């Protein structure tokens, strides 16, 4: 018996691959980014520009371990809730408080958090070869762990996006001193990267959180301004920069997972 049910049309694999790539942006848009005009805009104006140019192929990358990501999510929900997208990477070694915050965010903003996980087979092989806590042994092994648990899932998260948003600020530490508000991200296939809080101080971020009652990570109150994986994060000491608790056993110029790179050597991705 022949079924009369309609089936979805098959999309050629090449077309699927092309859809995953960022758009080829017009020269006028790239010139606008390179010109620096966008650098003087307020965070809400930068986000409104990004939504107008790229939605729905625009999303916020939120670790849920920093106030900045939650501030930006609050701004997006006020500007254009229908086009507010947020994704997160679950490395498999996060704090329970991070998962609690994800649920609070879903309830507060009625937004679907697009969670991406590392490839289980690669994690399994890494742990069998090097142990569960390999990251303490050497910089190379720490980068291996971050690469499998964070960098590779990010690449999948960016598929289908033309632009992405982060909470980077130069005040975070030496690895982020040259961040721009809007830049061309050559590390990730030329996508446009928005860092709308680039000119804000920690006090500005805290004031926004308090004024708008933005949900934030419970560990912030216990001296963790930046929260990542459980075994790789500690509370900071007075006078330390905000990211000093991340991979604290390494030198400051090494304290990145590989997602945000290049800011210490050059300016922006222009």
C-alpha 183/C-alpha 44 separation (Å) is 17
3-state SS assignment for residue 182: strand
Residue 257 is a catalytic residue:
yes
Chain Cα centroid distance, residue 156: 13
C-alpha 125/C-alpha 107 separation (Å) is 36
Residue ranges of E strands in 57-107: 58-61, 86-89
Q: What is the dihedral of CA 162, 168, 169, 173, to 10 degrees?
A: -140
Strand partners of residue 115: 88
Strand partners of residue 232: none
Strand partners of residue 163: 58, 192
- φ, ψ (nearest 5 deg) of residue 78: -85, -35
C-alpha 112/C-alpha 85 separation (Å) is 7
With beta carbons less than 8 A apart as the criterion, state whether 118 and 151 touch. Answer: no
Single out the catalytic residue among 146, 229, 232, 257.
Answer: 257
Residues recognised as catalytic: 257
């Amino acid at each position: 018996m022949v079924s009369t049910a309609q089936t979805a049309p098959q999309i050629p694999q090449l077309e699927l691959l092309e859809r995953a790539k960022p758009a080829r942006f017009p020269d006028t848009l790239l010139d606008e980014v390179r010109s620096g005009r966008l650098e003087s805009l307020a965070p809400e104006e930068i986000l409104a520009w990004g939504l107008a140019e790229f939605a729905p192929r625009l999303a916020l990358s939120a670790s849920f371990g920093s106030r900045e990501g939650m501030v930006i999510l609050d701004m997006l929900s006020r500007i254009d809730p229908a086009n507010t997208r947020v994704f997160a990477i679950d490395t498999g070694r996060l704090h329970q408080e991070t998962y609690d915050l994800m649920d609070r965010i879903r309830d507060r903003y009625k937004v679907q958090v697009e969670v991406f996980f590392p490839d289980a087979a690669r994690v399994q092989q890494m742990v069998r070869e090097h142990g569960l806590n390999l990251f303490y042994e050497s910089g190379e092994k720490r980068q291996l762990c971050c690469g499998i648990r964070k960098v590779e899932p990010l690449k999948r998260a960016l598929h289908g996006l033309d632009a992405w948003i982060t909470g980077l600020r130069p005040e975070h530490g030496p690895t982020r001193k040259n961040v721009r508000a809007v830049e061309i991200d050559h590390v990730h296939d030329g996508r446009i990267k928005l860092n709308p809080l680039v000119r804000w101080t920690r006090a500005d971020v805290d004031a926004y959180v308090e004024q708008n009652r933005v949900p934030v990570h419970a560990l912030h109150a216990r001296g963790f301004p930046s929260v990542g994986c459980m075994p790789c994060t500690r509370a900071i000491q007075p006078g330390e920069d905000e990211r000093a608790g991340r991979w604290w056993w390494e030198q400051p110029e090494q304290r990145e997972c590989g997602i945000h790179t290049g800011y210490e050597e050059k300016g922006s991705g222009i």
